[in-house]
């Protein structure tokens, strides 16, 4: 498993380097190398996840190394969709290096064994659904974040009428706005279903919907923020800069939800 993941890491690193170079030099040939390398990495990664699931006997999204690897997988998937739908190649140099780092850290922490046993959580199908949905939401919110930052940069330079080198390398204002909108809507859907499935699982396991632990509270705050973002966007009052700022703020909340819970303790601490 480790050797496959090493190959995945190599493919993603090659993809990341070529993506950054393509961004800097505006070279299509480098971009093609990046996309092929990423495709190979993604296929291997998917195979590794399935193999792990079959061999280890639990859904590969429980221990810390697994969560990082799965998050990376979801991010590559999200970037691929953006690439396919909007050909917004500029997202690559921001996504792929981070993906590589996630896999690298996952490889470093692999040997670590968790505080809780995974087996107890795999008995119902709801738990894997709960985690998968939430990680898909995180990946979507990451896309919202990157697109929002791009929007802010573009908008600022258009207002100031001075264009830096990065300006010419970003997609159009409308494109990044649309990416942020669609990704936010998808992310919110995943988050809603993720929270709901978590509650269902918890009630079936402990007869309790709500544990009042930090992760849950932050997840609900995140949910509220993205809900507000979607509503304001659809009523056309807050499109543009303010929506973009919300996209950035929302991601800060996502980070707190994802990593913060570890430090605040509570029920949602596993690995």
Partner 1 sequence: MPIVLVGVNHKTAPVEVRELLAFSEAACSAGLRDLIDGKILQEGLIVSTCNRVEVLAATDQIQNGTERITTFLGQSHRLPADVFESHLYSHTDDHAVRHLFRVASSLDSMVVGEAQVLGQVRQAYSLALEAGTTGKVLNRLVHHAFHVAKRVRTETGIGANAVSISYMAVELGKKIFGSLKGHTVLVIGAGEMAELSTRHLLNAGVSRVLISNRTEASAQKLAGEFGGEAVPFNHLPDYLKEADIVICSTGASKYVVTEEMVREALEKRRNRPAFFIDISVPRNVDPAIGNLPNIFVFDVDDLEAVISSNIREREREAERAELIVASEVMQFQQALRALDVGPTIGALKERLQSIARTELGRQRGRLGDLTPEQEAAVEALLLATVNKISHPLFSHLRRSYDASVPETLQAWRDIFGLEE
Residues that bind partner 1 (CB under 8 A): 26-28, 154, 158-159, 161-163, 165, 167-168, 171-175, 236-237, 239-242
| CA nearest to 165, candidates 262, 24, 267 | 24
Closer to partner 1 at the Cβ: 240 or 271? 240
Please state the closest distance from residue 236 (CB atom) to partner 1, in A: 4
Closer to partner 1 at the Cβ: 56 or 178? 178
Closer to partner 1 at the Cβ: 163 or 210? 163
Is-contact 142 155, C-beta < 8 A?
Answer: no
Please state the closest distance from residue 94 (CB atom) to partner 1, in A: 19
Please state the closest distance from residue 172 (CB atom) to partner 1, in A: 4
The whole-angstrom separation of Cα 36 and Cα 252 is 32
The 3-state secondary structure of 210-258 reads CCCCHHHHHHHHHHHHHHHHHHHHHCCCCCCHHHHHHHHHHHHHHHHHH
Q: Which residue has the tokens 């997840």?
A: 219
Per-residue DSSP letter, 259 = I
Please state the closest distance from residue 28 (CB atom) to partner 1, in A: 7
Closer to partner 1 at the Cβ: 20 or 173? 173
Closer to partner 1 at the Cβ: 115 or 236? 236
Please state the closest distance from residue 221 (CB atom) to partner 1, in A: 26
Is-contact 266 215, C-beta < 8 A?
Answer: yes
Helix (H) or strand (E) holding 266: none
């Amino acid at each position: 498993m480790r050797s496959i993941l090493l190959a995945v890491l190599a493919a993603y690193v090659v993809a990341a380097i070529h993506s950054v170079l393509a961004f800097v030099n505006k070279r299509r040939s480098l971009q093609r190398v990046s996309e092929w390398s990423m495709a190979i990495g993604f296929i291997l990664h998917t195979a590794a996840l399935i193999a792990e699931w079959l061999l280890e006997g639990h859904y590969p999204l429980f221990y810390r190394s697994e969560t990082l690897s799965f998050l990376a997988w979801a991010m590559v998937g999200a970037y691929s969709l953006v690439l396919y739908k909007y050909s917004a190649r500029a997202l690559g140099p921001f996504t792929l290096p981070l993906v590589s780092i996630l896999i690298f850290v996952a490889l470093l922490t692999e040997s670590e064994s968790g505080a809780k046993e995974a087996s107890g959580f795999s008995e119902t199908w709801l738990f894997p659904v709960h985690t998968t949905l939430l990680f898909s939401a995180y990946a979507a919110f990451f896309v919202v974040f990157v697109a929002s930052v791009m929007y802010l940069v573009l908008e600022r330079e258009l207002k100031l009428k001075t264009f830096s080198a990065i300006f010419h390398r970003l997609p159009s204002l409308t494109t990044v706005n649309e990416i942020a909108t669609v990704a936010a809507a998808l992310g919110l859907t995943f988050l809603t279903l993720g929270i709901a499935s978590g509650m269902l699982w918890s009630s079936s396991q402990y007869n309790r919907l709500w544990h009042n632990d930090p992760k849950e509270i932050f997840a609900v705050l995140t949910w509220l923020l993205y809900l507000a973002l979607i509503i304001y966007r659809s009523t056309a009052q807050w499109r543009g800069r303010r929506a973009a700022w919300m996209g950035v703020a929302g991601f800060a909340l996502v980070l707190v939800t994802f990593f913060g819970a570890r430090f605040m303790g509570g029920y949602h601490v596993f690995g």
